[in-house]
């Protein structure tokens, strides 16, 4: 397999350093919302300083959560490219793993969601509302099926591109 060319502005993802919160993300809240606040799109509740899956109080404020905002704008934070002959032969099984991983993560972290799974010429492209979900999907694929995994983070755009192939 040919080496993947790193797009301009991206850099290899390093597991040995902590990503600083100095990254500009227009979807990140600039201040605290009044508590409780409910997202009218998905029903997540902002309580205790974070979005959670809780019953919505009747007196709650309303504000669109960052994940629903990204979905409305069709502006993903993560891209996961899945391709290769092994993927073609095990497509349904691999997509079930992807959806199961998202379900597990979304249960604890309401802002980590899959936006779309689109067919491409080489396989599929999964778009996510969060960079951590994209990285987690790539690592879950590598853990379950081995293969090659490339992760590239673009700090100026707070964008993660993951490519898994086998």
Mean pLDDT over 74-92 rounds to 97
Band of pLDDT at residue 11, cut at 50, 70 and 90: low
pLDDT digits (tens, 9 = 90+) for 37-74: 999 999 999 999 999 999 999 899 999 999 999 999 99
Backbone Cα Rg of the chain = 17
Band of pLDDT at residue 112, cut at 50, 70 and 90: very high
pLDDT at 6 exceeding the cut of 90: no
Mean pLDDT over 31-35 rounds to 85
Domain boundaries, the chain: 31-64, 66-166
Please tell me the least confidently modeled range out of 14-23, 44-53, 62-71, 91-100. Answer: 14-23
54 token code pair: 């809780």
pLDDT at 75 exceeding the cut of 60: yes
The packing angle between helices 91-108 and 131-145, to 10°, is: 140
Long-range Cβ pairs for the range 14-18 (8 Å, 24+):
none
Mean pLDDT over 20-32 rounds to 65
Mean pLDDT over 83-91 rounds to 97
């Amino acid at each position: 397999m040919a080496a993947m060319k790193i797009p301009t502005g991206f850099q290899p993802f390093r597991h040995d350093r902590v990503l600083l919160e100095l990254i500009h993300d227009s979807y990140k809240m600039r201040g605290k919302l009044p508590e409780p606040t409910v997202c009218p799109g998905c029903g997540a509740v902002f309580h205790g300083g974070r979005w959670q899956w809780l019953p919505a109080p009747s007196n709650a404020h309303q504000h669109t959560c960052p994940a629903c905002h990204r979905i409305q704008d069709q502006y993903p934070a993560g891209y996961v490219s899945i391709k290769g002959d092994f993927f073609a032969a095990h497509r349904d099984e691999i997509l079930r793993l992807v959806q199961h991983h998202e379900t597990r993560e979304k249960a604890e972290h309401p802002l980590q969601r899959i936006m779309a799974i689109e067919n491409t010429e080489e396989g599929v492209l999964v778009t996510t509302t969060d960079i951590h979900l994209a990285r987690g999907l790539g690592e879950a694929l590598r853990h379950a099926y081995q293969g090659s995994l490339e992760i590239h983070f673009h700090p100026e755009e707070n964008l993660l591109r993951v490519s898994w192939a086998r």
